[in-house]
Amino acid sequence: QKEVEQDPGPLSVPEGAIVSLNCTYSNSAFQYFMWYRQYSRKGPELLMYTYSSGNKEDGRFTAQVDKSSKYISLFIRDSQPSDSATYLCAMSTSGTYKYIFGTGTRLKVLA
């Protein structure tokens, strides 16, 4: 079993839809949870960074962490074609700087 599981997609949604992206994990020691967006042939761009459980909102993006279920989510409201990219979740424990990445979910927002 991988430490971090993420559905690779692709996930296709119409413009304006609410997108839900998810990751599950097995290591209960993970404390830091990140979401990155990666466009084709580019480096990942940090979208959200959360510590422990709870919600965090930034513009159209909301990150949720449910440590009891070992489940994290990223919601994108009013999705745009420019949101089409691969979304990677990443996690780390408090004692290390090493990130464990999910495989990424490819999102396509159709105009």
Which C-beta is closer to other proteins: that of 44 or that of 83? Answer: 44
Residue from 59, 68, 97, 111 touching other proteins (CB under 8 A): that is 97
Residue from 64, 91, 102, 109 touching other proteins (CB under 8 A): that is 102
Which C-beta is closer to other proteins: that of 45 or that of 66? Answer: 45
Q: What is the C-alpha separation between 84 and 105, in angstroms, rounded? A: 10
- Using the rule CB under 8 A, is 47 a contact of other proteins? no
- Both tokens of 111, joined, read 């105009």
- Both tokens of 94, joined, read 């408090």
- Residue 13, judged by CB atoms within 10 A of its CB (0-12, 13-18, 19+), counts as middle
Which C-beta is closer to other proteins: that of 44 or that of 109? Answer: 44
